[in-house]
Amino acid sequence: MQKNEIISINSSSDVVLVRQAVRQFAVELAFSLINQTKIVTGASELARNTLEHGGGGTVNIEALDRGTRRGLRLTFEDSGPGIPDIELALKDGFTTGNGLGMGLSGTKRLVNEFEIVSRVGEGTRITITKWK
């Protein structure tokens, strides 16, 4: 199964759409309930990040099939202000917005792979992968 879906994130109801789409992918990949919940929660955090800090953007949801390993990869992209200090942004409790400061650091703990690329003034791309 190689498929993907791109959803744009421009309002808080889009965040709900992202959650639902990611859930559907995870169910199709037969993720356990715990892993479904983890990836959907991570998606929710990052989608809100994209909306609030990136001024909107897109997410690309991909189903991965590497032989015996199956997984789900989400790539969030925005062309917002970027993150000046990534290390600081990944610290527990660091917040600029309305959350509890657990968005980025917490999401990293929910997935198997976490990659963040950001340029000030150009935007941010965060990729997370959860293997089954």
CB of 84 closer than 8 Å to CB of 120: yes
Q: How far apart are CA 96 and CA 102, in angstroms?
A: 11
Stretch 45-64: interaction string toward other proteins, x if CB under 8 A:
x--x----------------
Q: How far apart are CA 111 and CA 76, in angstroms?
A: 14
109 counts as binding other proteins under rule CB under 8 A:
yes
Residue ranges of E strands in 1-122? 4-9, 57-66, 69-78, 113-119
Positions 66 through 95 that interact with other proteins (CB under 8 A): 92
What is the three-class DSSP state of 110? Answer: helix
CB of 18 to other proteins, least distance (A): 11
CB of 33 to other proteins, least distance (A): 5
By the criterion CB under 8 A, which residues form the site for other proteins?
A: 12-13, 15-16, 19-20, 23, 33-34, 36-38, 40-41, 44-45, 48, 92, 98-103, 105-107, 109-110
